[in-house]
Amino acid sequence: MKDPKKGYDKWAKLYNVIEENMPMGKFKQEAIAQAKGKILEVGIGSGANLKYYKSEQDVIGIDFSKEMLNLANKKIISLKLQNIKLKEMNIEKMDFLDNTFDTVISTCVFCTVPNPEKGLKEIFRVLKPGGKAIFLEHMKSENSIINIFLWIMNQLTIRILGTSLLRETENSIRKAGFSRVTSKNLMMKDVLRLIVAEK
């Protein structure tokens, strides 16, 4: 598998164009509207979600790609956002103290995290007791026909960006120790899901 950090640094501008034109805006708004208190967005990338945050939301966004963060920072300046800070950081080894955040947001991130179980443990660690992790993620389907198409596309995405379309992300979330996990299917039957996990 290609090193995803190098892939996102190299293809940051192209990925930004794709991300800004993905037909998921209403789902992202639905996810971000649930975020309360001190908020962490992991894998914020080029900042495609920035426009969905309200001015009263207190947000830190992290990403392991410096080039993606540069694009996100330009959007923060353009949108005149005063409530969002960016940090270069790896989700698998975050610098935050335990029990720091009320909400963690992840949108289409765990297809790329090299060790998703480690990333989920870190999310669990930095969440406050009673806090929520909100995941908008695409993953392997329960439908074998859909998975054939995902497998074909996966041959390209995994080579260019190190992004897998065949991960069983919901299963990984359910095994990460959260007290309650709910899931809602959104697109392509069950490929794109909104998952809310409570600590």
140: domain CATH number? 3.40.50.150
End-to-end CA distance of the chain: 32
Whole-number pLDDT of residue 11:
64
Whole-number pLDDT of residue 163:
78
Using CB atoms within 10 A of its CB, is residue 183 exposed (0-12), middle (13-18) or buried (19+)? middle
> pLDDT by residue for the chain (199 residues), tens digit each?
456 777 676 766 777 677 777 778 899 999 999 999 999 999 999 999 999 999 999 999 999 999 999 999 999 999 999 999 999 999 999 999 999 999 999 999 999 899 999 999 999 999 999 999 999 999 999 999 998 998 998 888 777 767 788 899 999 999 999 999 999 999 999 999 999 999 9
User: What's phi and psi for 35, nearest 5 deg?
Assistant: -75, 130
In the chain, the number of structural domains is 1
d(CA 23, CA 3): 27
Q: The domain containing residue 136 runs over which residues?
A: 4-198
d(CA 177, CA 106): 17
